[in-house]
Amino acid sequence: MPIMTFSRCIAAAVSCLCLLCQPLLADTFAERLAPCLACHGDKGYSEHPVVPSLGGQPAPYLLIQLYLFRENQRASLYKKDDQMIQVMSEMTKGFSDDDLRTFSDFLSRLPPPPTPQDTPDPARMQSGRALITEHRCNSCHNLDLAGRENVPRISNQREDFLVKTLREYRDNIRHGYDGVMASVLAPINDAQIADLAYYIARFR
């Protein structure tokens, strides 16, 4: 991630940390939401490298993720120095259960990220489509890859974020709430992950 871009994300997130230490009623929801939208995008899609788009994500999935951050369960021995995890854990540590629901409900109503307008490489799209079918990604994430309940929307997610996340699941260094992703991705190599991410990011 470019240093300046990453720094802007960190600065935007840190700017509201002092607000989170105050009672919820002392601040408006918009003030508390501002650093979230500064990084993840106020139109549902992220413009920052490796920062995920949240538009169109199922509210139950977002709720679980926010809970994991609040409880510091996204950190691990392998990712203890991950600054983005540190920021998210710090941002959510003062959240009540009602806060978690309020934020997840709002973010889930942001519009889904748009399909990229570039002309996709047919060979890579075919490879990614075949991998989706072979490994039955669409049995959990739905045929339209829009997710459901506690399964995330992956359609048109940022390609760089998908590559990073898929590798972390495969290498068992991204802690989730079950081990399904690690087992599904175990036999997939880096080149296949790249094609999977390419296809999902450009899903039509």
Percent of the chain with pLDDT over 90: 71
φ, ψ at 148 (rounded to 5°):
-165, 145
Mean residue pLDDT of the chain comes to 87
Q: Which fold has domain 3-108?
A: Cytochrome Bc1 Complex; Chain D, domain 2 (1.10.760)
Which pLDDT value is given to residue 11?
Answer: 52
Which pLDDT value is given to residue 26?
Answer: 41
Which pLDDT value is given to residue 172?
Answer: 86
CATH 1.10.760.10 intervals, the chain: 3-108, 122-201
151 bridge partner residues: 148
User: What is the rounded distance in angstroms from the CA atom of residue 6 to the CA atom of residue 38?
Assistant: 12
Across 81-87, average pLDDT: 83
Across 66-93, average pLDDT: 84
> pLDDT at residue 131 above 70?
yes
CA distances from 201 to 2, 46, 81, 184 (A): 21, 13, 27, 19
154 in Cβ contact with 114 (< 8 Å): no
Q: What is the largest CA-CA distance in the chain?
A: 54
148 bridge partner residues: 151
CATH value of 122-201 in 3.40.140.10, 3.30.565.10, 1.10.760.10, 3.30.70.1520: 1.10.760.10
Which pLDDT value is given to residue 16?
Answer: 43
The pLDDT tens digits for 148-160 are: 999 999 999 999 9
